[in-house]
Amino acid sequence: MLLVVLPGMDGSGELLSEFVAEFGDDIPRIVVRYPPDRPLGYPELETFVRTLLPKNEPYVLLAESFSGPIAISIASSQPSELAGVILSASFACNPRPFLSILRPLLGVLPLKHVPVALLSAVLLGRFATPQHRTALSNALAALSLPTLRARARAVLDVDVTPLLRAIHVPLLYLGATDDRLVPPGCEEAIVRAVPQARAVEIEAPHFLLQAAPAPAAAAIRKFIAALPASARS
């Protein structure tokens, strides 16, 4: 079973290296990398992802945070090779609606100059390490400002909640117990809308896959192993 991994807002996939290494040679995987210098919104990024999806073998789509709406939209179109969906600390609509008041200011906000210490406090909290902070700083430095603004705008505007009802494959939601960015209501809305969905709570911050790679990988292995035999062939 191929695991197709969609990264968080940084889009680089570099922050997922430790998590991906947890699978060794057991589970083949593709880590999608979004263009760092193209200000694409969700529709354009979904089109980009679809060009990379396998056409002749089953796969599971794993979406980290920002990429959740892309995975939801793809799954709702019911691709024949899609065997399951995994969402990690993600959402179907703007997780913090009050932040929408900032939308008119995205063109002038110094998003590239937000202190890494502040980002680390929100994304990693007590789980942060110097290695995490360095990796986060490097990932953001590689993004162009227009690209970062386009992705922030996409999160503020997105709502794929109506598409959840069209998902018929198994869905696993990995919830982070110490998530300071995505509230529990986002998980609850997804699980409530998809009857075959189940959730696993992991002691971790919003950067769940980075801070708890082993427990996350274990939950994903169990999910894949439980998929119907027809989906794995």
Q: What is the pLDDT of residue 233?
A: 58
Integer Cα distance of 154 and 185 in angstroms: 20
Q: What is the pLDDT of residue 113?
A: 78
Query: What is the average per-residue pLDDT within 122-149?
Result: 93
Share of the chain above pLDDT 70, in %: 97
Q: What is the pLDDT of residue 230?
A: 65
- β-strands 82-88, 2-6: how paired? unpaired
Class for the domain spanning 2-232 = alpha beta
Q: Report phi then psi at 48, rounded to 5.
A: -60, -45
How is residue 23 annotated by DSSP?
T
Q: What is the pLDDT of residue 231?
A: 65
Neighbour tally for 32: CB within 10 Å: 20
Q: How confident is the model at residue 232 (pLDDT cuts 50, 70, 90)?
A: low
Query: What is the average per-residue pLDDT within 41-64?
Result: 97
Q: Please write the tens of the pLDDT for every residue from 89-99.
A: 999 999 998 88
List the beta bridge partners of residue 60: 3, 84
Q: Report phi then psi at 6, rounded to 5.
A: -105, 125
- Dihedral of alpha carbons 64, 70, 76, 77, sign: negative
- Across 72-100, b (16+ Cβ under 10 Å) vs e yields bbbbbeebeebbbbbbbbbbbbbbeeeee
pLDDT at position 52 over 90 = yes
Integer Cα distance of 95 and 112 in angstroms: 21
Reported pTM: 0.95
- The first and second tokens of residue 157, run together, are 């505007």
Q: Please write the tens of the pLDDT for every residue from 147-165.
A: 999 999 999 999 999 999 9
Mean pLDDT of the chain: 94
Q: Report phi then psi at 88, rounded to 5.
A: -110, 115
